Amino acid sequence: MPEPTPSTRPLLLVVEDEALVRMTLVDVLEDAGFKVIEAVHADEALRVLSAVSGIDAVITDVEMPRGSINGFELARRVRTDRQEIGVLIASGRAAPKPGDLPEGALFIGKPVHPETLVQLIRRLLGPIQD
């Protein structure tokens, strides 16, 4: 599948409290042809989502101590309020229990392999990539 052209690059929101992990995710996603906005916790992500239109997918960590909610709750809010946005939840510690993942959301364990991350994002975006 060819890379999207710059004008049609999907816009992703990466929500990760660990700076090095966030930078790595952003680098991988930008190298794969995506535009990326960063947030350090779920509260900041909710502010970005309310201020920026055109976000196609959210990639979020689960445990983010500085925010008032975790990644599972952020994912539920995104899927409730903005069903058109894809959601990928990543964690190295917290595996989802029944009911944690909202409908249509995907989960990946950390550490995340770059190729797997890009494949999952493309699966979430579906027709946007074509």
Give CATH superfamily name and number for 12-112: Response regulator (3.40.50.2300)
pLDDT, position 115: 96
Provide, for the chain, the percentages of residues in helix, strand and coil under a 3-state DSSP scheme, each rounded to the nearest 5.
40, 20, 40
Q: Helix/strand/coil (H, E, C) string of 42-94?
A: HHHHHHHHHHCCCEEEEEEECCCCCCCCCHHHHHHHHHHHCCCCEEEEEECCC
Instruction: Indicate the burial class of 114 (C-beta count within 10 angstroms; 0-12, 13-18, 19 or more).
Output: middle
Q: For the chain, what are the domain ranges?
A: 12-112
pLDDT tens-digit series, residues 72-127: 999 999 999 999 999 999 998 878 888 889 999 999 999 889 999 999 999 999 86
Looking at the DSSP assignment, which residues form a beta bridge with residue 60?
A: 15, 89
